[in-house]
Structure 1
Amino acid sequence: MKHIYLLRHAKSEWDEPYETDLDRSLSRRGKEQSKALRDYLKESRFEFDQCLVSAAERTLKTYSSLRKEILRFPKPEIRENIYDADKEDLLFVLHGLSSSTRSVCLVGHNPGLETFGSALLLGDNDQSLFQKFPTASFLGLCFSGDSWKNLSWGSCQLVVFWIPGQIGKE
């Protein structure tokens, strides 16, 4: 049994000027979301062998805030190909994992994470299972394959979908 955890970065800062979109950091609300997510993950005891994180500042800050207090989380592997990835790109990333990896967390962005999670659950039919996949959402999936190369559309089952409570203004 393999486990996949998809984590969308916490709310990013739009009011400050940044040189590139990759440089945008977390807003005050994003920091509050990260704390709520950290509390949930500490209590739930989810674990993963690897964590693949987009190279964007907001994804790095989101995961860093979790790992600061949840020492069981592995050191992040920064993957530039997760930023702006679509569902096919993300499937390719996971197909490259070692069979010895039992669980992985991807920290990334929408719409890629939402369409990827939906396709893993529902098949490749461009339907979304989610009415909304908000910032700081955490989606857990599992599939029964023993190799990541067996991961395909519609092959997963839902384990958990956690959304942070209303924090600040939408």
Structure 2
Amino acid sequence: MKQIYLLRHAKSEWDEPYDSDLERTLSRRGKEQSKALREYLKESRFEFDQCLVSPAERTQKTYTALRKEILRFPKPELREGIYDADKEDLLFLIHGLSSSVRSVCLVGHNPGLEDLGSSLLFGETVTSKFQKFPTASFLGLSFSGDSWKDITWGSCQLAVYWIPGQIGKE
């Protein structure tokens, strides 16, 4: 069995000028979201064998906030391809994972993460089936196969869906 965790970065800062979108960091609200997510994940005992993170400042800061107190989480691996990825790009990335990896966390952006999660659960869709996939959302999917290459649209089951400020579904 394989586990895929999708984590959308916490709320980013829009009030400050940045030379590029990659440089935008977390807002005060984003830092609060990261803290709430960290508390949830600390209690939930989720584990990842590998964590792939977009090179954007806000994704790195989100994951760093989690690892601050959750030492069981692996060091992040920055992957440039996550930054502007669509669901096909992200699925290609998943297909390339080593067979020894049992669980992976992707820390990235919308609409790519939301579209990926929706399509892995419900099949290839034109629009997301999620009513809401806000910043700092955490989605866990299970795949009953043994190979990452066998994951296709509609082949996963929901394991967890947590939204900041709400009770998560497990």
The one-letter amino acid of 1:122's match is F
Superposition TM-score, scaled by structure 1 size: 0.96
RMSD (CA atoms): 0.8
Q: How far apart, in 1, do the equivalents of 2:42 and 2:64 lie?
A: 14
SS at match of 2:26: coil
CA contact (8 A) 2:124 2:153 kept: yes
Look up the match of 2:100. Answer: 100
Distance 1:153 1:23 in 2: 33
* Partner deviation per Cα, 1:24-44 (whole Å, 9 max, x = no partner): 000000000000000000000
TM-score (norm 2): 0.96
Structure 2: gaps of 5 or more residues: none
- Runs of 4+ aligned residues of structure 1 deviating over 2 Å after TM superposition are none
Q: Which residue of 2 aligns with 1:61?
A: 61
Number of paired residues? Answer: 166
Paired with 2:23 and 2:74, the residues of 1 have a C-alpha distance of 23
Distance 1:161 1:146 in 2: 23
Deviations 1:77-109 (A, max 9, x none): 000000010000000000000011000000000
> Are 2:143 and 2:151, in contact at CA under 8 Å, matched by a contact in 1?
yes
Percent identity, aligned pairs only, is: 82
* Equivalence for 2:122: 122
In the alignment, structure 1 residue 77 sits paired with structure 2 residue 77: yes
